[in-house]
Structure 1
Amino acid sequence: MPDVRRARAWNTWIGIALLVLAAVCLLVWFPRDIGSGFVARSISGRIMPADAFFPTILVSLMVPLALLLILTAQRRGPRAAGGEPVGRITAANAVFLLQCAVLIGASLAVMTVVGPLLVRLHNALAGTPISGYRAVSATFPYDVSGFFLGGTLMAVCFIALARRTLRWRDVAVAAASVAGMILIFDLLLGNILLPPNGDL
């Protein structure tokens, strides 16, 4: 029972901390620091996402997750069979965080190098060379290749890390999810630059 009570306390306070962070971001930080607001209108009159659009969406998604964390912490019931003790930080937690950091770093590296490698492959095989990745960074498939492969790799790695196993269906779900993000951000919101194109 002490482990169960400790776990509930941890989850409750983490949920409260996330709610406070979300409130500070949405009510204080973003309005004062981001002058362009949530949406903006282009010269042609088209409404498009402004600088605060994606940070606001991201932080807003934290609110239901924090509430869910708090509500589930208040439920009374026995600990699930086979559940590991929670409420204390161990070496296994540090190893898990290190694994996450390595996976994220590797996926971002893939996301960064795939586009230029695709350009090199094109120049080696095609008769019309491309001057560099910057020249085609807004052209399909070069503009989405790094994001698709790097994002799929990141999703697949985290699925495998969480489940300790991996199936082809997991890879398909990860690829479909990243493809859906590309459809939304690159096609429907045409003025959005997918990583790493915004850093060029």
Structure 2
Amino acid sequence: MNRAAENARSARWNLWLGAGTLAFVALCLFVWFPRDIGSGFLQQNLTGRTVPGDSFFPVLLIGLMVPLAVLLIVAQIGARSGKNGEVVGHIGLRNLLFLAQMVVLTGLGLLVMDVTGPALVWATNAVGLSEASGYRAVSATFPFDVSGFFVGGTLLTCGYTFVARHRLRWRDVLIAVVTTAVLIGLFDGLLNDIQLPPNADI
């Protein structure tokens, strides 16, 4: 198969994947979620506070798929001849290695997320800045409650960037730090009923 035929097949895969993702999003938002999820995106609890409803996280997850699908379609339509990127539709050893790297990196990031809080408590106790009996006692106190998510989330973002681009710049690290901080501000600051990992397991 020549290069032109491979590029044409790659274009079909990318376009169908992008269009299929958008169709799945529409199915979820207009058919599946309204029929299956009891409450809306936001709701008021018994005390009158606005809290995330049952559809909050499903809608948030589905919403993140939209820009990815649009970017895939736009990039493929606007690609110049001979610059369609890596041919898709064939799984090789490099693909499996990439997947294995992502799995290992995700596991490492979750492990760091889990141990950072207790490690911070131990360090602050050791230098006399705190007298906590353990992480459970301060798991709702800043900065202990967000330390694991911040360090682990930043590590994951930097790691994913390095694996995908094969390099990591200081600007990438700064973007990872700011992005993780924004997520903390959103879920821990504005949505008080949301517990950042790993606090929900304590």
The alignment's TM-score, normalised by the length of structure 2, stands at: 0.87
Residue 150 of structure 2 corresponds to 148
Q: SS of 2:51's equivalent?
A: strand
**Equivalence map 1:45-84=2 (5 Å):** 45-75=48-78, 77-80=80-83, 83-84=85-86
Match of 1:8 in 2: 11
Instruction: Give the conservation status (yes or no) of the 8 Å contact 1:137–1:143.
Output: yes
Given that 1:115 and 1:133 are in contact with CA atoms closer than 8 Å, whether structure 2 keeps it comes out as yes
Q: Determine if contact 1:111/1:151 at 8 Å carries over to the other structure.
A: yes
Measured after TM superposition, the shift of residue 3 of structure 1 is 1.3
Q: CA deviation at 1:135?
A: 1.9
What corresponds to 1:39 in structure 2? 42
| 4+ residue runs over 4 A deviation | none
Look up the SS of the partner of 1:48 in the other structure. Answer: strand
Residues 140-190 of structure 1: per-residue CA shift (max 9 Å, x gap) = 011000000000001111111122122222212211211121122211222
Give the superposition deviation at 1:99.
Answer: 0.6
Aligned to 1:101: 103
Q: CA deviation at 1:110?
A: 0.4
- Measured at CA, do residues 46 and 94 of structure 1 come closer, stay the same or move farther in structure 2, by a change above 3 Å? same
Equivalent residues in 2 for 1:94-173, closer than 5 Å = 94-126=96-128, 129-173=131-175
The answer to whether residue 181 in structure 2 is matched with residue 179 in structure 1 is yes
Give the distance between the partners of 2:169 and 2:78, measured in 1 at CA. 33
**What SS is found at the alignment partner of 1:159?**
helix
Q: 1:101 to 1:46 in 2, by over 3 A?
A: same
Aligned partners of 1:125, 1:89: CA distance in 2, in Å? 52
RMSD: 2.2
State the TM-score, normalizing by the size of structure 1: 0.87
How far does residue 61 in structure 1 lie from its aligned partner after superposition? 2.6
CA distance in 1, matches of 2:105, 2:7: 31
- Number of equivalences: 199
Q: Which deviations, in whole Å up to 9, do the C-alpha atoms of 1:34-86 show, x marking residues without a partner?
A: 323211102332222123112202202312432332344344630229x4433
Q: Is the 8 A contact 2:42 2:56 kept in 1?
A: yes
Matches of 2:51 and 2:135, distance apart in 1: 26
For 2:43, what is the secondary structure of its paired residue? strand
Secondary structure (helix, strand or coil) at the match of 1:193 reads: coil
Instruction: Give the Cα–Cα distance (whole angstroms) in 2 for the partners of residues 86 and 195 of structure 1.
Output: 35
**Partner letter of residue 16 of structure 2?**
W
Q: CA separation of 1:27/1:159 partners in 2, compared to 1, >3 Å: closer, same or farther?
A: same
